[in-house]
Chains A and B, each alone.
Chain A
Amino acid sequence: EADIYQTPRYLVIGTGKKITLECSQTMGHDKMYWYQQDPGMELHLIHYSYGVNSTEKGDLSSESTVSRIRTEHFPLTLESARPSHTSQYLCASNRDGNSPLHFGNGTRLTVT
């Protein structure tokens, strides 16, 4: 079973608040990813990292930012939440770029 954890599982927050979604993995994977997914819709890659101090934007433009100070930790931050940020955010990691992804159980964010 994959060891990748996301917190919080659910978050309801008001517009304008700063939030950080946490993601940690204990598998020693260098590569980590953040995906955004609306209900019934496809996954969109918003950020990825190939190692410490490496972060890149994904295919879908996002107002969020990420950091990778430690191998096991890849937090995502929204400086000022808006209702359009309401979505599910999924963190994932893999050993190599072409090996299977392990997903966390997601954070469901609602911005009111």
Chain B
Amino acid sequence: RKEVEQDPGPFNVPEGATVAFNCTYSNSASQSFFWYRQDCRKEPKLLMSVYSSGNEDGRFTAQLNRASQYISLLIRDSKLSDSATYLCVVWNTGFQKLVFGTGTRLLVSP
């Protein structure tokens, strides 16, 4: 089992839709969690840090469920510009390293 797993998608949604991605992690001792956004052929950019139970930033909400070992990203009122790959990143306390998921691709259509 991979340390961090994401549904690769793609998720095809119309503009204005609400979409949610899940990311599961295997190390129960993980402390820090992040969502990154990566556009095609560009570098990943930090979207949100998730340090406690979750947080919200405009149309984006991240939640952490420690009992089930997953974090989620909810995007409300999807825009065309939200089309990208969303990467889940988890801090592996045991190995002291950040572990990237393979990413979930989102396509928002008019």
The A interface is mostly helix, strand or loop, or mixed, namely loop
Nearest-neighbor residue (CB-CB) of B87 within chain A: A43
Interface bin, chain B: 20 to 34
Query: Does the CB pair A97–B45 fall under 8 Å?
Result: no
CB contact under 8 A between A100 and B46, given known A42-B102, A42-B103: yes
Question: Which candidate, A11-19, A61-69, A74-82, A103-111, is the interface stretch facing chain B?
Answer: A103-111
B1 part of interface (Cβ distance < 8 Å): no
Which of the segments B16-24, B63-71, B76-84, B92-100 contacts the partner chain? B92-100
Q: State the interface size on chain A (CB cutoff 8 A).
A: 19
Can you name 14 A-B residue pairings with CB atoms under 8 Å?
A39-B41, A43-B100, A48-B97, A90-B43, A97-B96, A97-B97, A98-B31, A98-B32, A98-B91, A100-B49, A102-B46, A103-B43, A103-B45, A105-B42
